[in-house]
């Protein structure tokens, strides 16, 4: 019985991005009555020529839908990345943001945008993201064991370092480019366009496919390196694949949307509370819930005030208290390890 109830909840979570995305189409600063939204979408379906040039169509599809899809992809990537890193480092307190990957990737983007227009931005973001997460796990490693809090501290140090580097870039860069770097760094989907959707989607597919296929192994890996080895799993090899794959997806997400923190921390925990810690369900459900969460957060961010607030503010305002909650609860999920 309990299992059946859980299945229903799982299905609800899997469908939640569609529901959130649908709802988000009706919200925006450009006042289009809900019925008109439906009419535009329906007519377009039956008569492809109609509304081709109309402003409603542009607002609904090229602005709202594009933004919703991008938020969904980024949310899915950040949450799946968070779940992966939490399982792999057996540390419930980490996510791509806390590990410094976001800051590292941001530095890569800033350099590419500011000085090296010929080098692909996601490529440099990926290189710097990998560098950041490698530094964090190297700093946190002290002998055989890594304490969860040490890893959080190492991430703070690495983030601070890369954030400082980004500031240097801001100083040196052409003032015309400065504005776009600053705005993008705050974490926002307001500049969403179909080109960036395509890029983020491609990186998400390439990065998350191996994670999804190998997700059951994360259960074994989360028991610790030596114990996994006695069960025939060579953690060192898997770690390379998991880190490279999720960092690719995450750093590309950063390159199209800036630094959006905390999503990867919160969402997997919420999913675990509902559906349990088994990575077989945790990874796909985190993708879905992360997508829905970020679509909703972005909808709130752009409709709360007359300004288009960066969505990173909304996630930080919900995420920071959540982190405090995890710290205080401590023993229950025994992150002390």
Residues that bind other proteins in the complex, under the rule CB under 8 A: 86-87, 90-92, 213-214, 216-217, 219-220, 222-224, 226-234, 238, 272, 276-278, 280, 333-335, 337
Measured from the CB atom, the residue of 92 and 290 that comes closer to other proteins is 92
What is the rounded radius of gyration, in angstroms, for the C-alpha atoms of the chain?
20
Minimum distance from residue 306 beta carbon to other proteins (Å) = 43
- Cβ–Cβ < 8 Å for 94, 82: yes
Neighbours of 313 (CB within 10 A): 16
| Ordered DSSP codes for 257-268 | H----SHHHHHH
Minimum distance from residue 213 beta carbon to other proteins (Å) = 4
| Ordered DSSP codes for 11-77 | HHHHHHHHHHHHHHTT-SSS---HHHHHHHHHHHHH-TTTTTT-HHHIIIIIIIIHHHHHHHHHHHH
Minimum distance from residue 333 beta carbon to other proteins (Å) = 7
Measured from the CB atom, the residue of 89 and 162 that comes closer to other proteins is 89
Mutual angle of helices 263-275 and 66-88, in 10-degree steps? 70
Minimum distance from residue 237 beta carbon to other proteins (Å) = 9
Minimum distance from residue 332 beta carbon to other proteins (Å) = 8
Minimum distance from residue 109 beta carbon to other proteins (Å) = 32
158: part of which helix (H) or strand (E)? helix 148-172
Closest CA to 249 of 192, 202, 286: 202
Measured from the CB atom, the residue of 56 and 276 that comes closer to other proteins is 276
Minimum distance from residue 14 beta carbon to other proteins (Å) = 17
Measured from the CB atom, the residue of 72 and 148 that comes closer to other proteins is 148
Measured from the CB atom, the residue of 272 and 302 that comes closer to other proteins is 272
Measured from the CB atom, the residue of 62 and 234 that comes closer to other proteins is 234
Polymer length of the chain: 337
Measured from the CB atom, the residue of 140 and 296 that comes closer to other proteins is 140
- Cβ–Cβ < 8 Å for 235, 229: yes
| Ordered DSSP codes for 95-145 | -TTTTTHHHHHHHHHHHHHHT-TTS-HHHHHHHHHHHHHHHHHHHH-BTTB
Minimum distance from residue 91 beta carbon to other proteins (Å) = 7
Measured from the CB atom, the residue of 141 and 280 that comes closer to other proteins is 280
- Cβ–Cβ < 8 Å for 113, 169: no
As a whole number of angstroms, the distance between CA 96 and CA 263 comes to: 9
């Amino acid at each position: 019985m309990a299992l059946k109830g859980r299945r229903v909840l799982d299905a609800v979570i899997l469908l939640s991005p569609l529901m959130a995305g649908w709802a988000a189409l009706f919200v925006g600063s450009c006042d289009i009555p809900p019925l008109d939204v439906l009419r535009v979408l329906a007519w377009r379906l039956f008569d492809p020529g109609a509304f081709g040039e109309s402003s409603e169509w542009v607002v609904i599809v090229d602005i709202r839908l594009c933004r919703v899809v991008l938020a969904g992809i980024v949310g899915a990537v950040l949450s799946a990345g968070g779940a992966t890193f939490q399982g792999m480092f057996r540390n419930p307190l980490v996510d791509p943001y806390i590990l410094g990957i976001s800051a590292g990737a941001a530095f890569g983007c800033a350099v590419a945008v500011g000085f090296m227009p010929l080098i692909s931005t996601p490529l440099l973001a990926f290189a710097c993201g990998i560098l950041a997460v490698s530094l964090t796990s190297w700093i946190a490693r002290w002998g055989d064991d890594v304490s969860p809090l040490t890893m959080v501290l190492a991430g703070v140090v690495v983030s601070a370092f890369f954030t400082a580097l980004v500031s240097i870039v801001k100083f040196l860069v052409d003032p015309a480019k400065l504005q776009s770097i600053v705005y993008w760094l705050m974490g926002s989907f307001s500049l969403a366009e179909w080109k960036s959707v395509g890029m983020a989607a491609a990186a998400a597919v390439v990065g998350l496919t191996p994670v999804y296929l190998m997700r059951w192994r994360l259960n074994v890996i989360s028991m610790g390196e030596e114990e996994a080895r006695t069960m025939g799993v060579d953690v060192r090899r898997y770690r390379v694949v998991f880190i490279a794959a999720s960092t690719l997806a995450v750093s590309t997400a950063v390159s199209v949307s800036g630094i959006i923190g905390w999503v990867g921390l919160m969402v997997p925990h919420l999913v675990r509370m509902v559906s349990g810690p088994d990575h077989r369900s945790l990874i796909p459900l985190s993708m879905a819930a992360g997508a829905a969460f970020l679509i909703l957060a972005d909808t709130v961010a752009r409709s709360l005030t007359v300004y288009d607030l960066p969505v990173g503010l909304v996630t930080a305002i919900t995420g920071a208290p959540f982190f405090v909650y995890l710290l205080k609860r401590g023993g229950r999920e025994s992150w002390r390890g």
